Amino acid sequence: MQRFKNILKFIGLIFLTLSVNIFPMRLIATQETTPTYVQWLASLGYLLVASIVLVLVWKKYKNKDEKEKLPFTWKDFGIALLFYLATRLVAIGGTFLIQMVTGNATSANDVALMATNEQLLNMFPLYFTAFHVAIGIFAPIMEELVFRGFFSHYFFKSNQKWLKLIISSIIFAVLHIIYPVEFITYFALGSIFYLAYARRGNIMDSIAVHLLNNSLLMIFSIVNYLLLILG
């Protein structure tokens, strides 16, 4: 019975994570037909509600894991940078693989996240902010709490590390891919995030790596936006 409850909880957390990640993109997609005052309310409301959700999920997780009391030191940040370099190697290899198979230079997931110059210039500023906060902060934290943290606690014993790595990485990959060939890249990324988490059993380690991984696309987009605005 408890296993069934955990499955329902996990599915609910996945749905919550997807909602937090996708909602800003839905706002952007309907921007042209949305009145300005609704845009203000929707974007501010999203930032508030998503922040509350993140805090509540984080508190719920901390109550389940005593290892979250371990400090995250500069040494741990340095190790997180090494894991981040591994994600970059995977991204480069994945790009070549995707280009060979599909002819596209980037993954379908990244294409969905990147706006054209015209779209950036026409984007409501708070939508732009909400989108980048979601990609750069909300998504990495929520995904690590759910796919590495809660998933490990709900379904596995502490000595089943390889099983946790494989299954959590499969779920992570399936929820990110559009082209089947992308599975290899996202499975590898999920594995790196899990290994970062498993090093000490502290979710802060994988969150740091995931934040670093997502920051590259976020920084590129923000710089491009600022250059366009400044002319």
pLDDT digits (tens, 9 = 90+) for 172-210: 999 999 888 899 999 999 999 999 999 999 999 999 999
pLDDT of 100 = 86
Instruction: Answer yes or no: is pLDDT of 131 > 80.
Output: yes
Query: Which has the higher per-residue pLDDT, 199 or 121?
Result: 199
pLDDT of 219 = 87
| Residue range 73-85: mean pLDDT, rounded | 96
Domain around 48: 2-230
Phi, psi of 156 (to 5 degrees): -135, 155
Query: Which has the higher per-residue pLDDT, 119 or 5?
Result: 5
pTM here is: 0.92
Domain count, the chain: 1
| Residue pair 117/224 in contact by the 8 Å Cβ criterion | yes
